[in-house]
């Protein structure tokens, strides 16, 4: 089967990681797999995942004019809005979150545009129970469920560590995630760690950052193979996202011998149980986060108990071969589902875009200050790279000061 995974960006992200893993498995099982990128990319952006040296990766504008696939899969809402650009016998949607929640409530037209992609009459697959239930309740879809796996050969307690673990009674915390993405809440997490005052705070980020206040050690844009060494050196990952599908970093930490402090975000209950393998705090209960971190440092027996619960969870979790086997079965079943015409997808996307354009024009007319923010963002693409990096770093630091 000729399969096209329509990807937004090839760069480092949890969502891209999942797509690459499923694509590698399909390739290994004899399918002809192409990663079609929506955004232009540089060779340096491909070094972080081994799939990029195995799979064919091409920008959508560089596809041969007569290129056709048996199955083309949208993997992000923006790729769903352009899915008709790919020629295929069948189309499908891999939904990794309800992505309208990625944007503030004030951006109503954009949130509605994102939600319009879930109305496309496509067969689909998702990674979390809550997403499948949401798509069923609100859009009448019956999506397949294929939970994410994990590379057990990579994420384990055995292997090198970036540093020895601290002595009993001293806690090393890891904050993970990109800056500039409000729902990842990274800057705020670092601010809370300054108040909680664990023995050490480390930062792992896909953002290009060389320094950050209050961070004892910083890891920026590291390849996958180096991530377990960072996990093995830390006791707990603090992951305070507002929106997730089935978020991977706490599960990766579980496999490397640590535990987690998380908000009660959608998807956490796929594998996290408060008091058994991690500590779960209500969203925006910032004092609760501070108290949880302080308690883990003050009560090493509790920390040890949660780590053991995390190990038990890790031992029972499937690897990527099993997860991708289920995912591939879903893809193969799509070829027997009712066919969705390319023209129908294009028409629905065009109508949704027209509605968005009119509503967004009205919104911007009512909020002139928003236009200036957009202009400032656009300026970052026109100034010298070193200036843009410094401006972004300033913005990232402000995230933890607000």
The answer to whether residues 215 and 93 belong to one domain is no
The answer to whether residues 184 and 266 belong to one domain is yes
The answer to whether residues 81 and 13 belong to one domain is yes
Residue 380 falls inside a structural domain: no
| 53/1: higher pLDDT | 1
Q: Which domain range does residue 308 map to? A: 172-317
d(CA 183, CA 14): 14
Rounded alpha-carbon distances, angstroms, from residue 153 to 47, 73, 149, 255: 19, 28, 12, 10
Q: How far is CA 330 from the centre of its chain?
A: 21
37 phi and psi angles, rounded to 5 deg: -95, 135
Residue 165 falls inside a structural domain: no
Confidence of residue 98 (pLDDT cuts 50, 70, 90): very high
How confident is the model at residue 395, as a pLDDT? 62
How confident is the model at residue 53, as a pLDDT? 86
Q: DSSP readout, 88-157?
A: EEEEEEEESS-GGGGS-TT-HHHHHHHHHGGGS---EEES-HHHHHHHHHHH----EE------TTTSSS
User: Cα–Cα–Cα angle for 279, 184, 292, nearest 5°?
Assistant: 20
Residue 397 falls inside a structural domain: no
d(CA 313, CA 155): 13
The answer to whether residues 202 and 246 belong to one domain is yes
Residue 29 falls inside a structural domain: yes
pLDDT digits (tens, 9 = 90+) for 262-272: 999 988 989 99
CATH code of the domain containing 287: 3.40.50.2000
Number of Cβ atoms within 10 Å of the Cβ of 391: 14
pLDDT digits (tens, 9 = 90+) for 63-81: 998 999 999 999 999 999 9
The answer to whether residues 224 and 329 belong to one domain is no
pLDDT digits (tens, 9 = 90+) for 211-231: 899 999 999 999 889 999 999
344, two tokens: 């129908």
Residue 166 falls inside a structural domain: no
Rounded alpha-carbon distances, angstroms, from residue 115 to 225, 262, 378: 35, 26, 25
Quote the DSSP letter at residue 271: T
The answer to whether residues 184 and 62 belong to one domain is no
The answer to whether residues 313 and 179 belong to one domain is yes
114, two tokens: 């994102």
Residue 376 falls inside a structural domain: no
Count how many domains the chain has: 2
The answer to whether residues 211 and 263 belong to one domain is yes
Confidence of residue 139 (pLDDT cuts 50, 70, 90): very high
d(CA 96, CA 98): 7
The answer to whether residues 189 and 122 belong to one domain is no
The answer to whether residues 306 and 335 belong to one domain is no
The answer to whether residues 291 and 330 belong to one domain is no
pLDDT at 379 over 60: no
Q: Measured in Å, how far apart are the chain's first and last C-alpha atoms?
A: 51
The answer to whether residues 245 and 276 belong to one domain is yes
Is the backbone of residue 342 left (phi > 0), alpha (psi -120 to 50) or beta? alpha
């Amino acid at each position: 089967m000729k399969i096209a995974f329509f990807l937004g960006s090839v760069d480092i992200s949890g969502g891209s990681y999942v797509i690459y893993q499923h694509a590698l498995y399909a390739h290994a099982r004899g399918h002809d797999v192409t990663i079609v990128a929506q955004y232009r990319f540089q060779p340096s952006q491909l070094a972080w995942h081994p799939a990029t040296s195995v799979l064919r990766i091409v920008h959508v504008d560089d596809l041969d004019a007569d290129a056709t696939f048996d199955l083309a899969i949208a993997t992000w809402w923006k790729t769903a809005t352009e899915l008709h650009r790919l020629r295929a016998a069948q189309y499908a949607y891999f939904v990794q979150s309800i992505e309208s929640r990625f944007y503030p409530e004030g951006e109503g037209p954009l949130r509605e545009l994102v939600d319009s992609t879930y109305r496309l009459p496509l067969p689909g697959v998702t990674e979390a129970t809550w997403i499948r239930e949401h798509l069923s309740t609100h859009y009448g879809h019956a999506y397949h469920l294929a939970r994410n796996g994990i590379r057990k050969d990579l994420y384990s307690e055995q292997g090198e560590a970036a540093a020895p673990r601290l002595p009993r009674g001293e806690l090393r915390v890891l904050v993970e995630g990109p800056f500039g993405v409000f729902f990842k809440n990274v800057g705020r997490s670092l601010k809370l760690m300054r108040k909680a005052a664990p023995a050490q705070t480390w930062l792992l980020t896909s953002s290009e950052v060389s320094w950050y206040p209050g961070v004892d050690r910083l890891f920026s844009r590291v390849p996958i193979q180096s991530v377990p060494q960072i996990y093995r050196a830390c006791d707990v990952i603090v992951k305070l996202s507002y929106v997730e599908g089935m978020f991977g970093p706490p599960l990766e930490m579980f496999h490397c011998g640590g535990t987690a402090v998380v908000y009660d975000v959608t998807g956490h209950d796929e594998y996290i149980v408060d008091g058994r393998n991690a500590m779960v705090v209500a969203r925006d209960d910032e004092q609760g986060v501070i108290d949880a971190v302080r308690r883990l440092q003050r009560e090493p027996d509790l920390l040890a108990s949660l780590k053991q619960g995390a190990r038990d969870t890790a031992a029972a979790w499937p690897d990527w071969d099993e997860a991708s086997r289920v995912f591939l079965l879903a893809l193969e079943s799509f070829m027997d589902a009712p066919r969705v015409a390319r023209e129908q997808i294009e028409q629905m996307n065009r109508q949704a875009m027209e509605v968005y354009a009119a509503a967004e024009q009205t919104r911007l007319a009512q909020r002139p200050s928003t236009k200036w923010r957009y202009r400032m963002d656009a300026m970052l693409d026109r100034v010298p790279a070193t200036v843009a990096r410094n401006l972004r770093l300033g913005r990232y630091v402000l995230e933890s000061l607000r």
